Amino acid sequence: MRGMISNKPILAADPRPRGVPAHVGVIMDGNGRWAASRGLPRIEGHRRGLEALRGAVRAAIDFGLDYLTVYSFSMENWSRPLEEVADLMGLLKRFIRNDLHDLHDANVKVKVIGRRDDLQPDIRGLLVEAEELTRANTGLNLIVAFNYGARQEIAAAARTLAEDVAAGRIKPSDIDEAFFAQRLDTAGVPDPDLIIRTSGEKRLSNFLMWQAAYSEFVFLPMHWPDFDRKAFAAALAEFGSRERRFGGVTAADENGKART
Ligand code: IPE
Ligand code: IPE
Ligand code: MG
């Protein structure tokens, strides 16, 4: 499995080879530092970050992934200067206005996770439009985490469950992991197999905390605008070389082969 992906381009028509993750989450970090290191304003880093996102979506289609979740704006990102927040909102609008039809033509199904209430009505409208237009598509599932926070998502899920218990619609004993997961924004979406973060930071920053329980992590030193198909393929190859155990033992362990 090791290195398989980087040795051979995988065509969209191929069935997903073993070792290729079904769901990849990406924490697109480092736009500001990319720009600062070139003496450019942060917005320029975000613009180039949008280019990198376009490339990542194309690559995800070609690599045969089922789901790509991209962390675009966290609930904590509101604490940035007003101007930067406005730039980031503007870029999301630009992405949907310019790219939605291309995504639709590529059979991509768009889903947006995160809190909608705090967003401007025109942005909310665009998000609904993107989901509605691509609802019946059967290709890559592109999940955009925008105004997303995992703690807020988990707290909101707990709140709806408490309301249902209080109203007598469910019993406390109905609540198990699977039941809880159905109340998250990602209900029905398989957990991410792999989470990639650029910029050298090694943290989740409130991204998919419930869903990442058994995800593999690949941290890349490059900033997000430099993330290209080659870097993506290398991260997938690294994933392919990992041994996932989910708390159990591997077949080799069971046979005593891995023990001395
Ligand atoms: C990621 O880049 C984009 C968003 C968080 C919206 P940053 O803007 O966080 O860039 P750095 O981390 O400051 O370099
Ligand atoms: C995480 O990056 C959020 C996104 C990439 C959208 P941040 O730049 O906001 O995370 P911290 O502040 O470095 O943890
Ligand atoms: Mg950052």
Residue 1, pLDDT above cutoff 90 = no
**What is the percentage of the chain residues whose pLDDT exceeds 70?**
91
- Of 227, 234, 197, nearest to 215 (Cα)? 197
- For residue 3, the SS3 value is coil
CATH code for residues 23-148+191-240: 3.40.1180.10
CA-atom Rg of the chain in angstroms = 19
* pLDDT of res. 19: 80
Ligand 2, closest atom to CA 73? 6
* pLDDT of res. 254: 78
**Ligand 1 site, CB within 6 A:** 28-33, 73, 77, 88, 199, 224
Residue 12, pLDDT above cutoff 50 = no
**What is the percentage of the chain residues whose pLDDT exceeds 90?**
88
Q: What is the pLDDT of residues 153-201, one digit of tens each?
A: 999 999 999 999 999 999 999 999 999 999 999 999 999 999 999 999 9
Type and span of the H or E element at 199: none
- Of 34, 89, 82, 48, nearest to 199 (Cα)? 34
The reply to whether the predicted model has a pTM over 0.85 is yes
Rounded Cα distance between 200 and 170, Å, is 44
- Ordered by start, the domain boundaries in the chain are 23-148+191-240
Nearest CA to ligand 2 atom 9: 77
Strands 141-148 and 67-74: parallel
Mutate to test the pocket of ligand 1, among 27, 48, 146, 199 (most ligand atoms within 8 A of CB): 199
Beta partners for residue 73, in sequence order: 146
- Sign for the CA dihedral angle at 7, 61, 192, 188 comes to negative
